[in-house]
Amino acid sequence: MSQLTAPELLERILDGNRRWAEGNTERDLLGAPSNPLEHQPPVAVIGCSDARVPPAAVLGAAAGAIFTLRLPGHYVDIPVAAGLGFAMTSLGTRLAIVLAHEDCRAVDAAYTEYTTGVPPNLALAPLTGSLAAGLYRAGGATSVTDAIDVNARNTAENLIAQCPSLRQALIDGDAQLAVLRYSPATRLVTVLEESITP
């Protein structure tokens, strides 16, 4: 069986999400090995740590199909960039997805800090300060909803900047970076960016 291309993987991911939204429990291996001892996930998801957004489930993927990296607000730090680099260079990952979501509490707090200059939650202040600075660098946001999308695109740009393996794979045409937003209310994803390039 031939390896699925990144665009084919994204199409299968979107189909999997539609199944999830309809209540269908069928899961797709996305071309990953069915042997649980083999670790070759073709898709990496950089997502928020929100418990309402389990990446494999909402994207209709089977165990072993997705390499998952999660922090509040899908923040990119050195371990996240290194983890994605590992997936790209050692595991054969070809599609990287930034999975944002509606009602993101981390982005909500960052937007509050962006608009007021005061962190609403001191425990999250180092994170929200960084996310708020990203909103500022991107030209701002007009609402929390807008901030979620701006932050998702910032995450993609930060991944390209901080993960040389991803950047080179995108330049060489060996990988794809997409940005999706999930709605816990509808259970559906919206494609914000099908393919971001350096």
The model carries a pTM of 0.96
pLDDT of residue 88: 96
* pLDDT per position as a tens digit, 141-165: 999 999 999 999 999 999 999 999 9
Q: What distance lies between CA 70 and its chain's CA centroid? A: 8
pLDDT of residue 104: 97
Please give the average per-residue pLDDT across 108-131, as a whole number.
93
**Domain locations along the chain:** 6-22+40-193
* pLDDT per position as a tens digit, 40-80: 999 999 999 999 999 999 999 999 999 999 999 999 999 99
Distances (CA, A) of 127 to 33, 76, 119, 156, 178: 36, 10, 10, 17, 23
CB atoms within 10 A of CB 197: 11
Q: Is residue 21 over pLDDT 90?
A: yes
Strand 176-182 relative to strand 189-193: parallel, antiparallel, unpaired?
antiparallel
Helix (H) or strand (E) holding 46: strand 43-47
pLDDT of residue 2: 72
pLDDT of residue 121: 87
Q: Is residue 1 over pLDDT 70?
A: no
* Superfamily (CATH H level) for 6-22+40-193: Carbonic anhydrase (3.40.1050.10)
pLDDT of residue 36: 84
pLDDT of residue 87: 97
Position with higher pLDDT, 2 vs 40:
40
